[in-house]
Amino acid sequence: MLQGKTALVTGSTSGIGLGIARALAQQGANLMLNGFGDAAEIAQLQADLAAEFKVQVEYDGADMSQPAQIEAMMAHAAARFGRVDILVNNAGIQHVAALEDFPTEKWDAILAINLSSAFHTTRLALPAMRAANWGRIINLASVHGLVASAQKSAYVAAKHGLIGLTKVTALETAQSGVTANAICPGWVLTPLVQKQVDARAARDGLSGEEAKRALLLEKQPSGEFVTPEQLGALAVFLCSDAGSQIRGAAWNMDGGWAAQ
Ligand code: NAD
């Protein structure tokens, strides 16, 4: 379905971004990976994805908190593949602390990585998408783009902002073949969430399994984690022709979290 298209997925060396990159590659899209990690492991990941899905896989290690590095990454993608057809803004970090204790440098980093990076990639990807009259912009927001939780001020503010950016992008592209939407996952068991499971286990004297269960049941009615594979399938659907009139949506996949 996506043969000949190029997908750039920020933060795709791990977790949800990797799940989405795999799902798009399975449909034939060439990949531009991005994210941090061990250089040898990333080279292996590139080779494995290329072999498994018979697509071309490039990598750029740009730091999403640095606009100049984002510009260089977008130029790298254009030089390698001609243009980016599918842009998945997924890179993100979390920090949990009360407002009055929230480190200001963490606030700045979360806003830069979880929100401003999507502004930069989007503004740089749009001209070629418009010229081709086809594009898909998928922003990995969160259920925290729809509702708040205590102790997550920067994350909740960034994710609400990302949904706002998604809506503006959708309006500005509404009469074109470019669509923009946000995906809003609930809990997904990735390294980002494992840290919160570990913190809860230490705080409450729980085993790892007990801490997972407690974390889930506090917010996510299904009591089950969402998976990167399920999120990948949703991203593929948004890229399909059936998705062409889904514009400016903030689509939650959250085990019922936001229904409460
Ligand atoms: P993760 O920690 O497994 O992966 C994050 C990815 O982003 C990694 O590849 C990491 O290297 C990359 N990254 C981090 N900082 C970066 C930077 N400065 N520049 C470039 N890359 C950077 O996390 P995840 O859970 O897969 O999260 C992915 C996205 O999904 C995030 O935006 C997160 O907010 C969102 N999300 C996660 C959950 C969840 O439960 N895990 C729920 C809702 C939304």
Task: Map out the domains of the chain as residue ranges.
Answer: 6-186+227-251, 187-225
- What's the 190 CA to ligand 1 centre distance in angstroms? 8
Asked if 25 and 49 count as a contact pair (C-beta separation under 8 A), the reply is: yes
- List the structure tokens of 202: 């230490």
Confidence of residue 91 (pLDDT cuts 50, 70, 90): very high
Q: Which atom of ligand 1 is nearest to the CA of 36?
A: 11
Asked if 214 and 206 count as a contact pair (C-beta separation under 8 A), the reply is: yes
Confidence of residue 171 (pLDDT cuts 50, 70, 90): very high
**23-55 burial, b if ≥16 CB within 10 A, otherwise e?**
bbbbbebbbbbbbeeeeeebeebbeebbeebeb
Which amino acid is residue 25, in one-letter code? A
**Span 245-250, mean pLDDT?**
98
Phi, psi (deg, nearest 5) at residue 58: -110, 160
What pLDDT does residue 38 have? 98
Tell me which residue has its CA closest to atom 6 in ligand 1: 11
Q: What percent of the chain has pLDDT over 90?
A: 100
What pLDDT does residue 66 have? 98
Give the residue numbers marked as catalytic.
155
- What's the 27 CA to ligand 1 centre distance in angstroms? 23
Pocket flag, ligand 1, residue 18 (CB < 6 Å): no
Question: Against a cut of 0.95, is the pTM above it?
Answer: yes
What pLDDT does residue 248 have? 98
Tell me which DSSP letter residue 116 carries.
I
Tell me which residue has its CA closest to atom 9 in ligand 1: 11
> What's the CATH number for 6-186+227-251?
3.40.50.720
**Displacement of CA 116 from its chain's centroid (Å):** 13
**Span 230-248, mean pLDDT?**
98
Ligand 1 pocket test: pick from 190, 227, 254 the residue with the most ligand atoms within 8 Å of its Cβ.
Answer: 190
The pLDDT tens digits for 20-73 are 999 999 999 999 999 999 999 999 999 999 999 999 999 999 999 999 999 999
